[in-house]
Amino acid sequence: MTETFDIGFLLYPELTQLDMTGPAQVLARMPGAKLHFVWKDLELIRDDCGLTFLPTATFADCPQLDMICVPGGYGCTAMMQDTAVLDWLRRQAEGARFVTSVCTGSLILAAAGLMTGYKAGCHWAWREHLAAFGAIPVAERVVEDRNRISGGGVTAGIDFGFRIVEKLHGRDLAEMIQLALEYDPAPLGGGTPETARKPILDKTLAAMAARGFDLRRAEISSLASVR
């Protein structure tokens, strides 16, 4: 009989759903995987584009997890200041085999003190803030440092999921799941600031500013300054 491997995704208001659903879709196909979607209560959670998700466990009744995964999203700065969230992550991290994140989820882990001295990935627009919380920022799709594994921005969560499968069950199974999901990206190019055309980068930054990018950056900086 395959041993159960409990994976818990932190849900919270204004998360980016692909940070969670990307790796969840991959990891759900892993032998023994049991996914938990965890929040303070069992009320519906609305993400940053209007989708809703129903938690399957609360902080109080969630079992000890083998793997914690914290997604990013527009609500991450609130979670970085939420004592209940940070305390739950610290408690779970004590017994978890892997402590992981996608996108700005690494900043939430860092705010909980769980990335201090560890290399970590993050969305390119927020990566620099990791250093202020004791982490070591790395510009890679998936960053692994001991039992801390973090994905870069949003779509990197899918690559992150395959890294976990390969690590636990080998490359053959990871490739089988990849084929079953038809994960064979054919990108346009320019998916990072370094590879994007300058006009596209400028327009993207302007669009992000219109959605509160500068305000969120200032808020994270202020959080770091009071540590």
- Take residue 41 and report the two structure tokens written for it: 């209560």
What kind and span of H or E run contains 20? helix 17-27
Annotate 34-44 with b (16+ C-beta within 10 A) or e (fewer): ebbbbbbeeee
Integer-rounded Cα Rg, in Å, for the chain is 17
Q: Are the beta carbons of 120 and 135 closer than 8 angstroms?
A: yes
The residue from 69, 76, 103, 122 that is catalytic is 103
Annotate 140-158 with b (16+ C-beta within 10 A) or e (fewer): ebbbbbeebbbbbbbbbbb
103 classed as catalytic:
yes
**Residues labelled as active-site residues:** 103
